[in-house]
Structure 1
Amino acid sequence: MKYKKGKMLTALGLGLALILGGCGSEENQNPKQTSDVSIADKGQSKSETSNTKQHSGKNETAGSNQSSETQTNVGKTSSNSSKTSTPPTNISNKKINMSDVTAVRLADPQIGWVGGDGWIAKTVNGGKNWAVSYQGIGTVRQIFALNQQNVWATIDQGGNSLRLLQSKDGGLHWTLIGTAPNKEFLHFISGDTALSGNAYSLDGGRTWHPISTPKNMVDQAYFHDLKNGWAVTESNKVLTVQKTTDGGKTWRPVLTKKLASPLEGVIIRSTGVHDAWIECIGDSGMNQTSYSVFHTADGGNSWKTVIANSTAGGGPAPGFTQKDNKGPKNKGSKPGPLYVVSPQVAFMGGTCPACDNPNSIGWTKDGGKTWVNSKETFKGYGESYLAIADKNHGWWIMTENNKPSIMYTTSDGGTHWTQVHIFR
């Protein structure tokens, strides 16, 4: 009887252990949902900035408060990750300061991402609520989305290059894949092919190769794909827009303009092989900057002057003289962000540092034939960040030192803007 009683107790103990173990397994298989959690509900911590560490060349999961060598197995998604939600990568439970936004990107009017000092967050309801999905060291400089699932971000930790992160699940998990050579521009053509400044990658950003550019180039060239690119050169008080169709092997001039003063910067955008929007930034003075925007939709055969903003402090707009001062005007006395949607549609912000509401916006929806300025103006004396989904829907984020960033959205092409979120 003693032996039988012992067997019964052992069986009972094993059964109880199996029941308890099953409960634990079920909980692990059903992690908490995160896509509908706003930052106010979550409460996460802010990471401090430090100098970058050279990448070892191995794929590493990006996160916070751990060395990259210890993170290679953190946050991996399972084969059925598309069916069940999994927790974000390396998110602490402390409050994170989201007040200073430094990058924004949208996939459509409802889904998009923002980044700041040590964090990336995602919205699925047009910016009303945000869930932090990444925390780490460094400032987010750029976010690029190929679609709703494939997203990249660059992290500035100091030094000459940026850490490049990738997400294949819409920003839920992030993996460190390499570096990006340019702080201002990142463009993925596919999951493997990418462009950043005067360099290209064929392995998803793990390695980069230089692109040949013309002499006397101002700022960076812009490549729409591996073959077709645009650049601006300056020599003897003449700006020249140049074009390549063979990946930089040869360049030919397609537009020349005389300059009253040297160029201070160039921004180029393109939405097609034959499409180019060239923003030329001129001289500054009295807190004003002169600037011009030129557009071609036929590969450089013909050009339209989209904007020619001459100012008292900065002098003539690039490509114009004081006498030849006619042309479409943007509202700001300094250029704001330029966002190009298609060969027909482009939006551009403007800033007026001396104004009570310094931020304004304008647009063209006919390829630059006409320019329309919104009647609305907005507060915020810091940088502003623009993301446009189509000719009707867009996001605009205003920043100011020591104050929360504020997000506005439009659904009528920029005529009216609605405040949807204050980042705290």
Structure 2
Amino acid sequence: MTRKTTKMNNTWKRIGVMALSLTLAWSIGPMHTLPHAGAASSACGKGDHGLASELNKGSGVEGRKLQFTDIDFLSQTTGRAAGKGFLIGTSNAGCTWQSIYTGQWQFEQLSFPNNVTGYALAGVKGSSKTYLIQTDDGGSHWKRLDTPGVPTFKYIDFSDTNNGYGYTYNGAYRTTNGGMTWTQLHTPANTRAAAFVTAKLGYAVVVVPEVGYKLEKTLDEGKTWTTVLRVKSDTWNGADLYAHGQQVWAVLYGDAGMSQQSYSLYASGDQGKRWRQVFAQSTAGAGPAPGATMDGKGTGPANPGGHPGNMALIGNQTAYLSAGSPAADQIGIGRSYDAGSTWNNIVVKAEGYSSRISFPAGKTGWLVVTSDNAPAVYETTDGGTTWSPKISF
């Protein structure tokens, strides 16, 4: 799965942060600049900004506890956080937030190539199906994009309003007309994750029964594939794949059990020519991680959390991984500034069992925490060492 890490294109860079803020305010309405009545705690970056009662009136949120599911920032000041039946936004680095959307769509993943046009994967109440939806007004209104003959996407990634990739459980698709039509890209048999950096350059994680996993690479739009890494594993329960520039990262899953998940993280900083195992998480309840040594331990440091969230890749060296631990009700972040040669884990002082991140810059990032008690959005400006709450329900 290709993860965009810096979505502010050259046009936005020239226009600057002020234009981004003005565009957001224009596209989703005036920002809340004063606390609502009875919401004295809604100071800059504090509390729920008076939004909890407003969002709970939405048709897609009624009778449901507010819960965040994804976050997507275009710049260090402008972004959106999504949940089941709602979407909120900020244009001043989380000082104030406003409701953008409430309704039927239960958001799962966001992909905004600019501040007006966006795409999302979302479901509806009472159904397990996921749909591809699109907005042309910053997220206030959404329309469904039909994808006949295409399996359900598990991840989407749009680089601009027309060009994007959609990844299914075992395949990859590309669109050049804003999701109206999709072309299937050839991937190897038994593919469990894919990521394309360009139309020609792509990677795939392949399951080899009774052996383990293979990482494969293509330089010709999937016409031919070359094996660049082999990982032994007694179990193969899927994978996540991330690629950006020179970086390629693979999360390989082993078994799950007793609220535990075994998984390994592999990284390459030279387009898959050389690889290193960053860490392997083997547990008593889930068993050995893919590629773990005989004693169940990996070659790297401990993991950031029991269950991976998503990764953010910046440039050719910097990478972040979000994670959560349902058993410990604790969130963690892992990071590397050298394409996985060294790895550092950080415990986030926040209750929660899962998380997702968005990093618009090398050390400025955003985190949404899924929690039974305190779902919240956090910001870091020092590469994840410290996190500040910006809105909580």
**TM value normalised by structure 2:** 0.78
Residue 352 (structure 1) aligns with:
325
Change (3 A) 1:390 1:150: same
Kindly indicate which of the two structures has a greater share of residues assigned to strand.
2
> How far apart are 1:151 and its partner, in Å?
2.4
Match of 1:34 among 29, 41, 47: 29
Cα distance change of structure 1 residues 376 and 204 upon mapping to structure 2, 3 Å threshold:
closer
In structure 2, how many angstroms separate the alpha carbons of the residues matched to 1:376 and 1:172?
32
3-state SS of the aligned residue for 2:50? Answer: helix
Letter aligned with residue 290 of structure 1: S
Q: Would the aligned equivalents of 1:182 and 1:196 in 2 still touch at CA under 8 Å?
A: no
Which of 247, 272, 281 is residue 309 of structure 1 equivalent to? 281
Distance change in 2, residues 1:176/1:377 (3 Å): same
Distance 2:186 2:128 in 1: 24
Question: Any unmatched runs of 5+ in structure 2?
Answer: 1-25, 34-48
Residues 244-393 of structure 1 correspond to what in structure 2 (within 5 A)? 244-259=218-233, 261-272=234-245, 274-323=246-295, 325=297, 326-355=299-328, 357-381=329-353, 383-393=354-364
Distance in structure 2 (CA, Å) of the matches to 1:353 and 1:330: 14
Per-residue deviation, 1:174: 4.5
Alignment partners' CA distance in 2, 1:371 and 1:360: 13
**Residue of structure 2 aligned with 1:43, choices 29, 51, 54:** 54
- Aligned equivalents of 1:140 and 1:110: distance in 2? 22
* CA drift at 1:159: 6.1
Could you say what secondary structure the match of 2:178 adopts? coil
**For the residues of structure 1 that align with 2:123 and 2:276, how far apart are their CA atoms?**
36
Coordinate RMSD, CA, aligned: 2.7
Structure with greater contact order relative to length (CA < 8 Å, sep ≥ 6): 2
- 8 A Cα contact 1:145 1:151, kept in partner: yes
Say which of 373, 389, 392 aligns to 1:419: 389
Q: 1:407 aligns with which of 363, 377, 380?
A: 377
Deviation at 1:99, TM superposition (A): 1.9
Distance in 1, Cα, partners of 2:190 & 2:287 = 23
Deviations 1:39-98 (A, max 9, x none): 62793532249xxxxxxxxxxxxxxxxxxxxxxxxxxxxxxxxxxxxxxxxxxxxx9978
Where 2:363 maps in the other structure, the secondary structure is coil
In 2, Cα distance between equivalents of 1:322 and 1:314: 15
User: Looking at CA atoms only, which structure, 1 or 2, has the larger radius of gyration?
Assistant: 1
Contact 2:242 2:249 in 1 (8 A): yes
TM-score, reference length from structure 1 = 0.73
> How far is 1:415 from its partner?
0.8
Aligned length: 341
Q: What 5-or-longer segments of structure 1 have no aligned partner?
A: 1-30, 50-94
Percent identity between the two aligned chains? 30
Distance 2:278 2:300 in 1: 8
